[in-house]
Copies of this chain bind each other. A is one copy, B any other.
């Protein structure tokens, strides 16, 4: 139902995050509808990268301070992304050093982009930034693009590009 393996369910039972409601008389695990609901939440949190331990905390303590855990995870994701970016820069340097100086192509046209790039942002980071902007304040995003002198058509393109990567169900590599 959720694309999980049998051993995953056994593991969830073992660590106490999802115990089946009952057992058959021959000791087979019987999962109830409530279990299914719970598992659905577990999968959701797991896709958000939360640890089993954190998920157990969230589900046992669901009335309240879950927000802190989620925000903590958001910050951790930011850290991981920064780490990956620095790895990216390092690898790019290693490859450039080994293959001789390669021309990078037409870099960028806008001053704003150039400044962000000079500050260490790469394509992926800019995409993430646009996506944040678009998801948090779409009309402000539009206004901001207009303020950079970007024409309506391209602004729309950028905003659609910001949304690339569909929500939740079945992602594809872009």
Contacts and interface: CB of A to CB of B under 8 A. Distances in A.
A1 interface: no
Interface residues of A, number: 64
A25 interface: no
B90 A48 contact: yes
A132 B144 contact: no
A133 to B, nearest CB: 6
- Name A's interface SS: helix
A89 B121 contact: no
Given A125-B121, A128-B120, A129-B115, A88 B67 contact: no
8 contacts: A47-B86, A48-B90, A70-B91, A74-B92, A78-B118, A88-B128, A92-B135, A102-B136
